[in-house]
């Protein structure tokens, strides 16, 4: 293999390992599986913690991201209850 192929292979291997770790963690998280209300509560706790430790706005992007995820989950809950 060339040096570039080795780099690409190692990056792909690392990405696959991280993806497997994420999927395993998601499977083990029984508190949040199929429980969107609990997901919203947990997101709220995470945002609150980020707000408390938001020196110089360093957490603004994550705060906004988590807030938007929470809104999306709420919208999905509303859609499901209408059906």
Q: How far is CA 50 from CA 5, 9, 43, 46, 56, in A?
A: 40, 36, 10, 6, 12
pTM of the entire structure?
0.72
Burial 40-53 (b: 16+ CB within 10 A, else e): bebbeeebeebeee
Quick one: pLDDT at residue 83? 80
In tens, the pLDDT along 12-63 reads 998 999 999 999 999 999 999 999 999 999 999 999 999 999 999 999 999 9
H helices within 1-83, ranges in order?
3-28, 36-52, 60-82
Asked if residue 70 lies in contact with residue 40, where contact means CB atoms within 8 angstroms, the answer is yes
């Amino acid at each position: 293999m060339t040096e570039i192929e080795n780099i690409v292979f190692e990056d792909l291997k690392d990405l696959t390992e991280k993806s497997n770790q994420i999927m395993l963690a998601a499977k083990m998280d029984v508190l949040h599986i199929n429980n969107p209300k609990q997901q919203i509560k947990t997101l709220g706790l995470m945002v609150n913690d980020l707000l408390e430790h938001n020196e110089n706005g360093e957490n603004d992007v994550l705060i906004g991201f988590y807030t938007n995820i929470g809104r999306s989950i709420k919208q999905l809950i509303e859609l499901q209850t209408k059906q």
